[in-house]
A and B are shown apart, each in its own frame.
Chain A
Amino acid sequence: MNAAIVLFPGINRERDMAIALEQSSGHKPRMLWHTETDLSGIDLVVLPGGFSYGDYLRCGAMAAQSPVMGAVRDFVARGGYVLGVCNGFQILTEAGILPGALLRNAALRFLSRDCHLRVERADTVYASRYRRGEVFRAPMAHGDGNYFADDATLDRLEGEKLIAFRYATPAGEITEAANHNGSARNIAGIYSPNLRVLGLMPHPEDLIDPLMGGTDGKPLFDGLCSALAA
């Protein structure tokens, strides 16, 4: 599998992502500077977490206008796989590749803590190593992760089963208390209609080593890397 991690100025979780991908695939991902536009030979594009352009205009808004994003749009249109985490998810929504927007957390504060995610469907390359309804833990670290879309969009996402993960209790209940950032319908991550683009706020890449407190995030990368290696 040839994975590429896109580097926008201000991105800062690219190393975490590279470690996770290498651990699961055995290959170091390519680092792609935001001015590059050639994605030939690449199977997976990852937009990592961070503060592209300092989040100064609106999270992800400026990165969404980068030269590389034109190429990413074409890549998506050709059926390419794209994973956007945290700032990467924000960039995907700003680029119009995924619907909705990420607003300030409901409490108006940055939140860095572990959350629990319920797997809403397991028949995707990203979730194949989890079971539907399974709950896994992942660190969250964001100030703007409050997923918002209008009701029609939310209904469509639910109707087409494009919700990837929801914030849940450890037992899998979808409650307000488990919804740390106030996201609409507890949505933590969503898929594109062809299930090949995933955007999510929490960081499974930071929970892949028992020494760091667990390996709950590892199945996502194991499943993804083995599916795309085939």
Chain B
Amino acid sequence: MSARPVNQALAQEFGLSGEEYAKVLAIMGRTPTLTELGVFSVMWSEHCSYKSSRVWLKQLPTKAPWVIHGPGENAGVVDIGDGLAAIFKMESHNHPSFIEPYQGAATGVGGILRDVFTMGARPIANLNALRFGRPENPHTKRIVDGVVRGIGGYGNCVGVPTVGGEIDFHSAYDGNPLVNAMTVGIAPTDRIFLSAAAGVGNPVVYVGSKTGRDGIHGATMASAEFGANSEEKRPTVQVGDPFTEKLLIEACLELMATDAIVAIQDMGAAGLTSSSVEMAGKGGVGIELDLDAVPQRETGMTAYEMMLSESQERMLIVLRPDRAEQARAIFAKWELDFAVIGRITDTGRIVVRHQGTVEADIALAPLADEAPLYTRPTAETAKQPILNAARLDNRHGLADALLMLVGCPDLCSRAWVWDQYDSTIGGQTVKRPGAADAAVVRIEGLDRALALTTDCTPRYCAADAEAGGAQAVAEAWRNLTAVGARPLAITDNMNFGNPEKPEVMGQFAAAIRGMSQACRVLDFPVVSGNVSLYNETEGRPILPTPAIGGLGVLEEAARAVGLALGPWLDLVLIGETKGWLGQSLWLREIAGKEEGAPPPVDLAAERRNGDFVRGQIEAGRVRACHDVSDGGLLVAVAEMAMAGGTGARLSAGPRDVPGHAFWFGEDQGRYVLAVTDSAATIAAAEAAGVPAIRLGYSGGEDLTLPDGGTISVKALRDAHERFFPAWMDAPSG
């Protein structure tokens, strides 16, 4: 590779456009070296530079009194009370997970963990939002198996509980699954570590695993579409080592308890390049690296290879010079590599030396400031008509339709998946996966708990990205509310197709618009995030998928409510039901159509309804609560019945809404509450201006439906639990 001449052809191979390469030449005032070209190409890749998305991301609200650090740091930081901060972020590992599902997903978990503990937090929970192709697609089973094993293999070993997430299936993900991993950690508010380097002469220290040739140009690969020969890109996928990550967590947290660290950042995408460039750039200083000192796993590595390697489990630290030996001893105890590989300078340049030669010498300011920034053309997706529920063919009774829905891939039990993730380690998991609308994890030693969720409904976003963007934020807020938590902030993982296509960029811009509106009305700012573009295979984009990771706080963990229904309770529906069937799962699974406008989100009503529900939970008046989302009201009640092993008897809905639309419509802003006194709940709701009606009551072993149909909870569970084991554990043909 070092024999290749550096020219426009090579720049293009590295993913730089002709215009971008011309800019490189202007900044350098000469032809760059191979290493320099490598540095520019990864720093200016879509993955690292956000060049297509930055103009839109700026619209998102990022501030609130409880936000300590918004976007721009390794992860977002919010104040959760008691002198503690929650540090969290979600990040995609989509492209690697298609090429090599196990390692792609595993290193996705590893990478997001490092983003969080690099700021001083002990990770306390992992979540993941996954989208896969159709189950009938022959590749899907292998990808699901590998991704689930990879997430479990990494998360279980590092000892961070995996407590929640979501899984959807759709043909649009056939060639491009999405793996979005989220980590949440806790740190004292006065012990948060940032990445801006400082202190001329301070040592730059490399810790963790040795550097190998894995993952070179991973960031570039993540910034391009797949062709038919994507398997050839397997060498760009990194290999994870969760054991080393666990040691790295403990060693870093031990070092962070001292005053040795000036700045710290993990080596993620674009490895040593991005960490050194970003740390020095943020600090407004220069940095010198001596690659001879870099711990190497292979012999004969070039400067180019070392600077672009994405070997995992590595961190870059700027230390106080008088603490270097103390730090060295900590890493020796944990049997991790520790090497001083450079120092901070006042030159404003990054200078990279290897075997007596200067391999790169680049001014940092233009590398950052003159990075490409595109306002790409956008095209609006045509709005779809609002469906008239009364005109839709309704051949199935409620019972048949319900059984089909609770058993369909998008709604069936995920127990097969959760069983492979350690959700109890740490001993603080109050609500495990499936027990509540959001996971609830207590802070060790305190009454306080965090509520965590991930949400997005891509089929809504495909039909109307603005409504879908608002809906994703609103659903995260609703899920946190449904356990009784006060929603604080979100992290967003924007997964879209090729931004050079106006319709894709239009989806992106519209989703940001919808998200921004929802964030503003719900006081639910974005504090961190990640953008993954070029999610296309052979020209087919994924559904627009702005995945939202939501975080909320409960002052008292004991007040958290789950969705399990107990006997002899009244069921009350909060929120208005018009019977919205456009883009509903009923429409897709029962009527066989994917069409119509998705349900709109009335953000004012969303807020009013949610604040009311949270107040009822805080007052101790709610025994179980479940938001109404995919599949509609009857699916929500059935999920509560299955979780609690208790049946229910439901009354007829209002006369002005057709039965199938009332029970399966996906109108937003709704919750089902199980309470002891529905009259009191409904009176309180009326006083708060919140729609509320009694649905029926719980008890017995059957779900008795208003059209006379009856299903036993056991039959529901059988239908609900069948899909995954039957699909995944069946012998491969």
Contacts and interface: CB of A to CB of B under 8 A. Distances in A.
B731 to A, nearest CB: 13
Interface in B139-154: 149, 152-153
Given A211-B430, A211-B557, A139 B156 contact: no
B106 to A, nearest CB: 12
B725 to A, nearest CB: 10
B157 A54 contact: yes
A53 B429 CA distance: 26
B430 A212 contact: yes
A10 B424 contact: no
Contacts of B426: 15-16
A209 B427 contact: yes
Contacts of A113: 415, 419
Interface stretch (B238-246, B495-503, B614-622): B238-246
Contact of B246 (A10, A143, A203, A205): A10
B156 A205 contact: no
Given A15-B427, A51-B246, A110 B152 contact: yes
A55 B159 CA distance: 13
B334 to A, nearest CB: 7
A139 B424 contact: yes
Contacts, number: 91
Contacts of B429: 212
A154 interface: no
Interface string B222-256: 00000000000000000001111011000000000
Interface in B423-453: 423-430, 432, 442, 444
B241 to A, nearest CB: 7
Contacts of A141: 156, 422, 424-425
Size bracket, chain A contacts: 20 to 34
A12 B557 contact: no
Contacts of B159: 12-13, 50-51
Given A54-B241, A110-B152, A110-B156, A16 B558 contact: no
A110 B419 CA distance: 7
A9 interface: yes
Interface in B393-428: 415, 418-428
A109 B420 contact: yes
Interface string A143-160: 100000000000000000
Contacts of B421: 110, 112
A54 B156 CA distance: 10
A208 interface: yes
A19 interface: yes
B423 A112 contact: yes
B346 interface: no
A133 B527 CA distance: 53
Interface in A3-60: 9-10, 12-13, 15-16, 19-20, 33, 49-51, 53-56
A25 B153 CA distance: 34
A109 B419 CA distance: 9
Contacts of B157: 10, 12, 51, 54-55
Nearest to B725: A107
Nearest to B241: A54
Contacts of B422: 110, 112, 141
B335 interface: yes
A212 B423 contact: no
Contacts of B442: 211
Contacts of A16: 425-427
A11 to B, nearest CB: 8
B430 A19 contact: no
Nearest to A33: B333
B427 A19 contact: yes
A51 B152 CA distance: 13
Contact of B243 (A33, A49, A54): A54
B158 interface: yes
A167 B444 CA distance: 30
Nearest to B729: A107
A205 B247 CA distance: 23
Contacts of A139: 424
A94 interface: no
Contacts of B334: 9
A71 interface: no
A208 B241 contact: no
A107 B419 CA distance: 12
Contacts of A110: 149, 152-153, 156, 419-422
Contacts of A107: 729
A206 interface: yes
Contacts of A211: 430, 442, 557-558
Nearest to B157: A51
B427 A112 contact: no
Contacts of A143: 156
A122 interface: no
B414 to A, nearest CB: 13
B152 A212 contact: no
A112 B243 contact: no
Contacts of A10: 157, 243, 246-247
Contacts of B425: 12-13, 16, 49, 141, 206
B152 to A, nearest CB: 5
B423 to A, nearest CB: 6
A129 B96 CA distance: 51
Given A51-B246, A205-B427, A209-B427, A112 B419 contact: yes
A78 to B, nearest CB: 29
Contacts of B333: 33
A208 B243 contact: no
A192 to B, nearest CB: 27
B388 to A, nearest CB: 45
With most chain A CB atoms within 10 A of its CB, the pick from B335, B428, B558 is B428
Contacts of B432: 213
A51 B244 CA distance: 11
Interface in A42-97: 49-51, 53-56
A56 B246 contact: no
Interface string B650-690: 00000000000000000000000000000000000000000
Nearest to B162: A112
A181 to B, nearest CB: 12
Given A10-B157, A12-B159, A16-B425, A51 B243 contact: yes
B335 A212 contact: no
Contact of B158 (A12, A33, A49, A206): A12
A208 B428 CA distance: 11
Contact of A12 (B241, B246, B335, B418): B246
Contacts of A33: 333
Contact of A51 (B242, B558, B729): B242
Given A10-B243, A12-B158, A212 B420 contact: no
Contacts of A49: 425
B717 to A, nearest CB: 15
A212 B428 contact: yes
With most chain A CB atoms within 10 A of its CB, the pick from B156, B244, B444 is B156
A212 B424 contact: yes
A111 interface: yes
A141 B419 CA distance: 9
Given A9-B335, A54-B242, A111 B427 contact: no
User: Which 3 A-B pairs have CB atoms at the shortest separation, nearest pair first?
Assistant: A12-B159, A54-B243, A16-B427
20 contacts: A9-B243, A9-B334, A12-B159, A12-B425, A16-B425, A49-B425, A51-B243, A51-B246, A54-B241, A54-B243, A55-B157, A55-B243, A109-B420, A110-B156, A112-B421, A112-B424, A113-B415, A141-B422, A206-B425, A212-B430
Given A206-B425, A212-B430, 9 more contacts: A9-B247, A10-B247, A13-B425, A15-B427, A19-B444, A20-B427, A55-B157, A110-B421, A205-B427
Interface of A: 9-10, 12-13, 15-16, 19-20, 33, 49-51, 53-56, 107, 109-113, 139, 141, 143, 203, 205-206, 208-209, 211-213
Interface of B: 149, 152-153, 156-159, 241-244, 246-247, 333-335, 415, 418-430, 432, 442, 444, 557-558, 729
